[in-house]
């Protein structure tokens, strides 16, 4: 007898929009953007910037990102590729013993902010500065450490302890903070205020970029002011497949979006084989 599985998550229903994120405060920031009259792009920017505050182990201004927008009115889909290259000073000889997973030499040119900025300029409705307010508040006033935060703080404790600033911000007395303890990031709040007021350009070519480059150099990173100034996010056409009567679009390489498309095609062909509508040899060749 089949047993019914009970789901403890509440059913979320919305008539005019929905926001999903790994952290409820980030989803809340996106929802507030929608309620203020913003569109999906405004909500995505607010959500992404807030994730960089409340989910520092997964997101942040120093990372990369792909953002795909579908405009229903025109039927146009576009991908904003915010993946930064290796610094110009990187060479095979310097990394002859592999690229480290952590530390200053693992850093590439940060691209996510440039992609968010380009996406907002192309499709956004609300003022750029308005989309930063929730993130600034959580950085300045703090957010409560979640179970997930505490787990990752413990998993990467040695990495955090290697840097005094990271230790002071993300660990309490050298150990993961208790559940609900406030995580305050005052310097990040000031950085976000500057980006909100001056635009994303300051992160790559302005006053903030100069301070960022100096800090990276002092930390031993190879990313320079010239690397930051040369970076531009890229607009790309998505790649796609037809899957069970629907068009599924994904970001092209260097994204790994093609993996999902391959999996869907394998799944569809597997189902057709079970129904006798396609030979097993065809599935084998495709795999």
**For 244-264, what is each residue's pLDDT tens digit?**
899 999 999 999 999 999 999
Sign (positive or negative) of CA dihedral 195, 200, 205, 209: positive
pLDDT in tens, 57-92: 999 999 999 999 999 999 999 999 999 999 999 999
Using CB atoms within 10 Å of the CB of residue 109, give its burial: 0 to 12 exposed, 13 to 18 middle, 19+ buried.
Answer: buried
pTM of the model: 0.89
* Structure confidence at residue 286 as a pLDDT band (50, 70, 90): very low
Distances (CA, A) of 121 to 45, 114, 124, 199, 247: 11, 11, 6, 11, 27
Task: Determine contact, residues 109/231, Cβ cutoff 8 Å.
Answer: yes
Q: Residue 82: enclosing H or E segment and its boundaries?
A: strand 76-82
- Any residues with CB less than 8 A from the CB of 33 and at least 6 apart, and which? 42, 43, 45, 46, 47, 126, 130, 131
DSSP 108: -
CA angle 122, 136, 85 (to 5 degrees): 50
Q: How far apart are CA 269 and CA 216, in angstroms?
A: 49
User: What are the φ and ψ backbone dihedral angles of 125, each rounded to 5 degrees?
Assistant: -120, -40
Task: Convert the pLDDT of each residue in 149-200 to its tens digit.
Answer: 999 999 999 999 999 999 999 998 899 999 999 999 999 999 999 999 999 9
Length of the chain, in residues? 287
Share of the chain above pLDDT 70, in %: 91
- Percent of the chain with pLDDT strictly greater than 90: 82
More confident residue, 274 or 222: 222
């Amino acid at each position: 007898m089949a047993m019914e599985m009970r789901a403890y998550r509440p059913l979320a229903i919305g008539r005019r929009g929905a926001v999903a994120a790994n952290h409820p405060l980030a989803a809340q920031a996106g929802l507030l953007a929608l309620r203020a009259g913003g569109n999906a792009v405004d909500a995505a920017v607010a959500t992404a910037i807030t994730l960089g505050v409340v989910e520092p182990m997964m997101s942040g201004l120093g990372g990369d990102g792909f953002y795909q927008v579908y405009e229903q009115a025109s039927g146009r889909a576009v991908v904003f590729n915010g993946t930064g290259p290796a610094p110009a000073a990187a060479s095979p000889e310097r990394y002859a013993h592999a690229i480290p997973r952590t530390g200053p030499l693992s850093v590439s040119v940060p691209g996510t902010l440039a992609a968010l900025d380009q996406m907002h300029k192309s499709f956004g409705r609300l003022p750029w500065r308005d989309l930063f307010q929730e993130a600034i508040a959580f950085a300045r006033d703090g957010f409560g450490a979640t179970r997930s935060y505490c787990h990752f703080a413990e998993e990467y404790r040695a990495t955090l302890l290697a840097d005094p600033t990271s230790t002071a911000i993300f660990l309490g007395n050298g150990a993961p903070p208790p559940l609900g303890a406030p995580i305050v990031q005052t310097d990040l709040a000031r950085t976000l205020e500057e980006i909100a007021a001056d635009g994303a350009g300051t992160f790559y070519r302005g006053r903030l970029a100069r301070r960022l480059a100096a800090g990276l150099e002092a930390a031993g990173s190879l990313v320079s002011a010239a690397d930051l100034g040369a970076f531009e996010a890229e607009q790309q056409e998505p790649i796609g497949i037809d899957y069970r009567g629907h068009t599924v679009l994904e970001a092209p390489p260097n994204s790994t979006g093609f993996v999902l498309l391959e999996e869907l095609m394998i799944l569809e062909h597997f189902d057709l084989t079970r129904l006798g509508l396609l030979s097993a040899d065809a599935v084998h060749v495709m795999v």
